[in-house]
Amino acid sequence: MPELRHHPLIAVDLHGAGLHPQAWRRPDSRAEDLFTAGYWTGLLGVADRAGIDLAFLGDSFALASTGHAEQRGQLDAVAIASRAVTSTRTIGLVPTVTVTHTEPFHVSKAIASLDHASLGRAGWQVDVSAGRAQAQLFGRKEPQDDEDLWSEASEAIEAVRLLWDSWEDDAEIRDVATGRFVDRDKLHYIDFEGTHFSVKGPSITPRSPQGQSLVVLGVHDEHSRRVAVSHADVIRISGLTVDAAGRAAADISRDVVEAGRDRSAVRILLDVEVLLAADHSGAARDLAQLENWAGTGYEPRSLLYRGDAAGLADLVANVARAGEVDGVTFRPLALPSGLDTLAEAVRPLLRPDGGDVRLLRERLGFDRPTNHFTRTGLSA
């Protein structure tokens, strides 16, 4: 196995019975438990005990598929993450909250509350709600094109970050003698004015343990890419080969710098779709079964690994040598058994001191950010 120059960041993206739409048909899928809290806390507990750095929980207002033979439906990602707070210890909990039909105030409160409840392990994966079907669920506005959706998302991130900072760290004074619970001078109106949002603030939630929860964006097109390089702490990329991933990461790194940011302020993670078995032939049989149920070959959206644990370790080592990639996000094609196998496979790749780091920002090598209003000296 090639030697790693550093311990890569390891994340998992948990999707229903697995990323493959036919994974629910496997006898070990526990499909009957998909909409129970225990299923999700069980998955997150496995990842947590393995020492995995962070877990992504996808969410959308749209049904994942129109096919009746495919898995459909999902629980709220923030609710799942909140439920898992007490059953996990160190793993970062990063639910998706879409911004197209969700107000920045509500997003800021939900993620800040999760950060308080988890003692500093929350992140926010940003996404948009595209298409007429999702717009019609709310009936508040017409469908938007991609450029407008991501322009709105950019504003939402700015507003949410300001709301997170609208309480200074020492705003809570709890002064019994004077009867003051907060120092009013350390709560701030954010007075955000944009094309899509006008938000006065302040938040009703005190600044959370991390100060700013991690903001995560996946790069899917030029619009999401523009927002990611300007605002994200963690950027998820795809690439069908290690070389392609290395080139994509180098391009993202360049764009981050061109956006006026320091490359060290961002972590780049490569999505890796994974199907593990005892050996390569076993993994090939498992994939063939999924494809047989689907009636079509599986087309990965990013690098696909099917094989045994040793080969997976080699792959991660090769990705780590690809230059600008800081780690990987594993997307198991089948759950929960795929996560059990993955957890054992990645243990040797994880940092030995990872369990001693509680704040997610610290775990990823970030400092606690200075409050915007303290830094600028703006008054309440």
Residue 38: pLDDT band with limits 50, 70, 90: very high
Residue 1: pLDDT band with limits 50, 70, 90: very low
Q: What is the dihedral of CA 248, 253, 254, 256, to 10 degrees?
A: 120
pLDDT in tens, 155-181: 999 999 999 999 999 999 898 888 889
Asked if the structure places residue 205 within a domain, the reply is: no
pLDDT in tens, 103-121: 999 999 999 999 999 999 9
Which DSSP string do the residues of 11-50 spell out, in sequence order?
EEEE-TT-SSTTGGGSTTS-GGGTTSHHHHHHHHHHHHHH
Asked if the structure places residue 158 within a domain, the reply is: no
Beta strands at 172-175 and 92-98: parallel, antiparallel or unpaired: unpaired
Residue with tokens 């809290």: 37
| 4: its two tokens | 């790693």
| 57: its two tokens | 């929980």
Partners of 269 in the beta sheet?
Answer: 236, 327
**pTM (two decimals):** 0.94
Asked if the structure places residue 261 within a domain, the reply is: yes
| 239: its two tokens | 């690439």
User: Residue 48: exposed, middle, or buried by beta-carbon count in 10 A (0-12, 13-18, 19+)?
Assistant: buried
| 304: its two tokens | 């696909």
Which DSSP string do the residues of 97-164 spell out, in sequence order?
EESSSS-HHHHHHHHHHHHHHTTS-BEEEEE---SHHHHHHH-SS----HHHHHHHHHHHHHHHHHHH
Asked if the structure places residue 378 within a domain, the reply is: no
Asked if the structure places residue 3 within a domain, the reply is: no
| DSSP 8-state symbol, 368 | P
Asked if the structure places residue 43 within a domain, the reply is: yes
| DSSP 8-state symbol, 291 | H
- As a whole number of angstroms, the distance between CA 93 and CA 95 comes to 6
Least confident of 65-69, 178-182, 303-307: 65-69
Asked if the structure places residue 61 within a domain, the reply is: yes
- As a whole number of angstroms, the distance between CA 360 and CA 212 comes to 10
Average pLDDT over residues 366-375: 91
- As a whole number of angstroms, the distance between CA 306 and CA 359 comes to 33
Residue 145: CB atoms within 10 Å: 10
Given this model, what pLDDT does residue 349 score? 84
- As a whole number of angstroms, the distance between CA 248 and CA 252 comes to 6
- As a whole number of angstroms, the distance between CA 111 and CA 106 comes to 9
Of all residues in the chain, the percent with pLDDT exceeding 90 is 82
Expressed as residue numbers, the domain containing 61 is 9-145+214-363
pLDDT in tens, 208-235: 999 999 999 999 999 999 999 999 999 9
Q: Domain with 93 in it: what CATH number? A: 3.20.20.30
Residue 63: pLDDT band with limits 50, 70, 90: confident
Asked if the structure places residue 114 within a domain, the reply is: yes
Residues 6+ apart with CB under 8 A from 234: 123, 214, 215, 216, 217, 266, 267, 268, 269, 364
The number of distinct structural domains making up the chain is 1
